[in-house]
Homo-oligomer: A and B are copies of this chain.
Amino acid sequence: MSTYDDLMAFQRDTSALAQVAGRLGWDQETMMPRGAADQRSDEMAAMEKVLHARRTDPKLAEWLAAIDDTALDPVGQAQMRHIRKSYDRAMKVPADLAVEIAKVTSKAQGQWAQARADEDVAAFLPVLETVVGLKRREGEALADGGDVYDAMIDDYEPEMTAVELATMFDAMRPRLVALREAVLAAEPPQAVTGHFPADKQMALAAKLATTFGYDLTHGRIDKAVHPFSSGSGHDVRITTRTSELDPFNCFYSTIHEVGHACYEQNIDDAYLLTPLGGGVSMGVHESQSRIYENQLGRSRAFTGWLYGQMTAAFGDFGINSAEDFYRTVNRVHDGYIRTEADEVQYNLHVMLRFDLERALMQGDLAVFDLEAAWNDRFAADFGYAVDKPSNGCLQDVHWSVGLFGYFPTYSLGNVYAGCLYQALQGAVPGLDEQLTAGDLSAATEWLKDNLQIHGGLFEPAEVVQRASGIVLSPEPLLTYLEGKFGAIYQL
């Protein structure tokens, strides 16, 4: 065995253990008896210690010093890029700081949940200030003198910078605000009404999942409070949820998670349990979930098929044509909550968070001014005032658990999806006819062959550009949104 082989055997076990830890997380949200939470917390902590010890194992330093990456093939070089980066990151953060962040964020998450329930921002801000301080220290350790917030973004979206994101977002924002205003001034489509039994929703959700290419021999669908996708390789599980008054929540959550899950399932088997064997970034991951959910799943063509499926499953539910159904599915409406936002408004929610967390990390915004800054910005972009903190700066869990630099990847994913969809339309002849017939095979195969299969082989922006042939730009997304909603709302 060469040194590279030794290293990869070690990495393979680390990847396998990371999968085990991920499966525990899945179990916690789906199967775990509620009285097992305290014991599970100890089990997870023990797994994390094992993983951290492996990521900073002194053997790694020896192997990394001994391996000449240039002597490896491109796959080997990509593996080394990930391994070196992960090792450098693990070594840069002092162990006591990592432990302190884990402790404080665990406490902060509970305080956030309580503060949100109590509508009491003041009860959350002190611990948030501690979290921000610790994360800034971590960012400084990672940044090597560079931009602290850039170092945070790099955890979720390698090679991306705050300046690049800000430039892109600032170009998008006025056009999205204008589109939002025009749409909301027009005649709204009808809302969905009626009662949709949960078991029938789950049956149709399973059909949607396989229609979009989800492989149930390497996955499963369960219910959970929050929909998510979990795992890589041959065991990628998703969850969904049902509201008997709102079937779209179940169906589009399912399609969204199927997008994430198919990305993981479709990565080249040669990369199984290696650093290349997972989605390359949060942004690229989100591009897959969003193109499945929106550009494909909420298209006029596919909603025509879904209308037939829903009519067969639920009988007459008060919408009289496929055209009306399409408008209802894409209905734009006022709202405070990011996760409930439509395609037009979603990115405005994200950009607000991006600007605020960037300012927090750069010291341009004090934690105790956060609520006022949030509310001012919300009123400016959405045209009405936040009514209570749970609809405002307390709505998301992210900051309480130290996720800074994560939010922008949601919108970046939409931008990537815009580029990919433009390319997909050119690459798959007869796409609309296929979607009308509920046939996603050509579209999802194209995404698999051009993007998903590569896993971590290329950097995020690179793999999207290779697949789409488009240099990263928000223009395809904006053109798509303005075209789609302009037509629906007859602007």
Taking a contact as CB atoms under 8 Å apart, the answer to whether B273 and A33 are in contact is: no
A35 adjacent to B215 (CB under 8 Å): yes
Query: Which residues of chain A (3-23) have a CB below 8 Å from chain B?
Result: 12-14, 16-17, 19-20, 23
Please tell me if A34 contacts chain B, counting CB pairs below 8 Å.
yes
- A137 close to B (CB within 8 Å): no
Instruction: Tell whether, in the assembled complex, residue B234 and residue A31 are in contact, meaning their CB atoms are under 8 Å apart.
Output: no
What B residues does A49 contact at CB under 8 A?
Answer: 13
* Nearest CB of chain B from residue A457's CB, rounded to whole Å: 20
Question: Is B234's CB under 8 angstroms from A17's CB?
Answer: no
With a cutoff of 8 Å between Cβ atoms, the chain B residues found around residue A42 in the complex are: 12, 16, 273
A175 within 8 A of B: no
Contact in complex: A234, B20 (CB < 8 Å):
no
Pick out which of these stretches binds chain B: A146-154, A193-201, A216-224, A308-316: A216-224
Contact A45 B16 (CB under 8 A): yes
Q: Is A272 an interface residue (CB 8 A)?
A: yes
Residue of B at shortest CB range from A32?
Answer: B235
Residue of B nearest to A51 (CB): B50
Work out how many copies of this chain go into the complex: 2
In the complex, which residue of chain B has the Cβ closest to the Cβ of A30? Answer: B31
Contacts of A16 in B (CB 8 A): 39, 42-43, 45-47
Which of A24, A31, A32 is the most central at the interface, judged by chain B CB atoms within 10 Å of its CB?
A31
Interface string of A230-249 (1 = CB under 8 A from B): 00011101000000000000
Closest to A16 in B: B46
Chain A interface bracket (under 10, 10 to 19, 20 to 34, 35 or more): 35 or more
**Contact yes or no, A20 B46, CB < 8 A:** yes
A475 contacts chain B at the CB level, 8 A cutoff: no
Within 8 Å CB of A32, what residues of B? 235
A99 CB-CB contact with B under 8 Å: no
- CB-based contact A39/B17 at 8 Å: no
Q: Given the known inter-chain contacts A20-B20, A20-B47, A46-B20, please indicate yes or no for A39 contacting B220, CB distance below 8 A.
A: no
Tell me, rounded to whole Å, the shortest Cβ–Cβ distance linking A281 to chain B: 23
A36: Cβ under 8 A from any B Cβ: yes
Other-chain contact of A50, B17, B19, B43, B216 (Cβ < 8 Å): B17
Residue A68 lies at the interface, judged by CB distance under 8 Å to chain B: no
Is A81 on the interface with B (CB-CB < 8 A)?
Answer: no
Rounded to whole Å, the gap between the CB of A56 and the closest CB of chain B is 15
Task: Give Cα A31–Cα B218 distance, bound, in whole angstroms.
Answer: 11
Task: Say how far A25's CB is from chain B's closest CB, in angstroms.
Answer: 12
Residue of B nearest to A37 (CB): B234
A39 contacts B19, CB within 8 Å? yes
Q: Measured between alpha carbons, how far is A217 from B273 in the docked complex, in Å?
A: 34
Q: How far is the CA of A44 from the CA of B407 in the complex (A)?
A: 35
Chain B proximity of A45: nearest CB distance (Å)? 7
Residue A38 at the chain B interface, CB threshold 8 Å: yes
**Cα distance A33–B236 in the bound complex, in angstroms:** 9
- Shortest CB-to-CB span from A254 to chain B, Å, is 17
Q: Does A40 contact B (CB under 8 A)?
A: yes
B235 and A40 contacting across the interface, CB-CB below 8 Å: yes
Residues of A426-459 whose CB lies within 8 A of B: none
A181 interface hit (Cβ, 8 Å): no
Query: Does A27 sit within 8 A of B, measured CB to CB?
Result: yes
| B39 and A20 contacting across the interface, CB-CB below 8 Å | no
Tell which of B12, B23, B40, B219 touches A27, judged by Cβ atoms closer than 8 Å.
B23
The one of B33, B38, B43, B235 in contact with A20, judged by C-beta atoms closer than 8 angstroms, is: B43
27 contacts between A and B (CB under 8 A): A12-B42, A13-B49, A16-B39, A16-B42, A16-B43, A16-B45, A17-B43, A17-B47, A19-B39, A20-B20, A20-B47, A23-B43, A27-B27, A31-B31, A31-B220, A33-B216, A34-B217, A35-B215, A35-B217, A35-B218, A36-B234, A39-B234, A39-B235, A39-B272, A39-B273, A40-B235, A50-B50
Question: Sorted from nearest, which 10 A-B pairs have the closest CB atoms?
Answer: A36-B235, A16-B46, A35-B217, A39-B234, A13-B46, A35-B218, A16-B43, A36-B234, A16-B42, A17-B46
Given contacts A16-B39, A34-B217, 13 further A-B contacts (CB under 8 A): A12-B46, A17-B43, A23-B24, A31-B31, A33-B216, A33-B217, A33-B220, A35-B215, A35-B234, A36-B234, A36-B235, A39-B233, A40-B235
